[in-house]
Amino acid sequence: MAAQRQAAKQALRNALTHCGGDPQQDAIAAALEDLVRLNPTPDPAQRFDLAQGNWRLISAPSFPDGERQEDGTYVYRLGRLAFNLFQPQDLRVQIDEVWQPVFPLGDRSRHSHDIVVTFTTLGTAGPPLQGQVRNLGVCEPQDETHIQVQFTGGVLEPIAQTDRQQWQQVFGDRTDTPRSSWKERGQGLFLRLMFGFVPPGAMDPQTGKREFQMKRSPKGTLEILYLDEELRITRGEKGTVLVCERV
């Protein structure tokens, strides 16, 4: 069984490489089905001893409205990475990596469920800048195969070697930002009333960080399809499948 499982994992990795990482492609879907059938962990949502660690996405990113480039990378508008809450929303960024750190949060049942996206800016006046968007989340077991996930906020910040002055020019507080439309104001009010949304404040001049909070965000369910020492495969409520490898 172990040899069969390793062969199925390699077949999935090969399919991800050759088909652009999209789980909806037939070859990837078939490889996923074969591997999930061999899942060695019958109660993966309860096995945080296996789930704890840093996981890197090896399937395609699942944010809305992405564009796959000829070199296999994905490009998004910045706003699509975090609920359209960071400016400039329409700035094009190339996804470098997506990470999911899973670590305990003070008790044995609650764990972090952040989604960390590192990116490189495209089309800015100066040199490309590297940063990350961290969507903060927590999770806890719901049953043997499902976890409940709740996002609590988000952070936009530069990575260590990024020039802070250039970062400030692109992502800092601006006086030329177009006035919000009535629709945007209505969406902001809805977020505040329904989810306890606290919008991003001023940028921290020392770190270049901006962040928002969601104090009453809705809870979602994630199904753990496969879990072992190497791979973690999940499926969201809308059918989105993500394949992550332990780093």
Would strands 241-246 and 231-235 be described as parallel, antiparallel, or unpaired?
antiparallel
Q: What is the mean pLDDT of the chain?
A: 92
Measured distance CA(247)–CA(53) in Å, rounded: 8
**What's the pLDDT at 27?**
98
Q: Which residues contact 122 (CB under 8 A, 6 or more apart)?
A: 75, 91, 92, 93, 94, 128
- Over range 191-195, report the average pLDDT: 65
Percent of the chain with pLDDT over 70: 91
Percent of the chain with pLDDT over 90: 81
pLDDT in tens, 148-173: 999 999 999 999 999 999 999 999 97
Tokens of 187: 């969406």
CA 12 from centroid of its chain's CA atoms: 21
Q: Model confidence at 225, in pLDDT bands (50, 70, 90)?
A: very high
User: Quick one: which of 71, 162, 61 has its CA closest to 120?
Assistant: 162
Alpha carbon dihedral 159, 163, 164, 170, in 10-degree steps, equals: -90
**What's the pLDDT at 246?**
98
Bigger pLDDT: 107 vs 206: 206
194 pLDDT more than 70: no
Q: Which residues contact 230 (CB under 8 A, 6 or more apart)?
A: 9, 245, 246
- Over range 5-32, report the average pLDDT: 97
Q: Model confidence at 204, in pLDDT bands (50, 70, 90)?
A: very high
Tokens of 159: 């990575």
Measured distance CA(169)–CA(137) in Å, rounded: 29
Q: Model confidence at 196, in pLDDT bands (50, 70, 90)?
A: confident
Count the residues in the chain.
247
What are the residue boundaries of the structural domains of the chain, listed by start?
39-246
> Lowest-confidence range among 31-45, 170-184, 200-214?
170-184
**What's the pLDDT at 217?**
82
What are residue 156's DSSP bridge partners? 133, 210
- Over range 194-214, report the average pLDDT: 89
Residue keyed to tokens 């670590």: 103
pLDDT in tens, 94-153: 999 999 999 999 877 899 999 999 999 998 888 999 999 999 999 999 999 999 999 999
> Exposure of 69 by Cβ count < 10 A (0-12 exposed, 13-18 middle, 19+ buried)?
exposed
Q: Model confidence at 218, in pLDDT bands (50, 70, 90)?
A: confident
Rounded to the nearest 10 degrees, the angle between the axes of helix 2-18 and helix 26-36 is: 160
Q: Which residues contact 197 (CB under 8 A, 6 or more apart)?
A: 188, 191, 212, 213, 214, 215
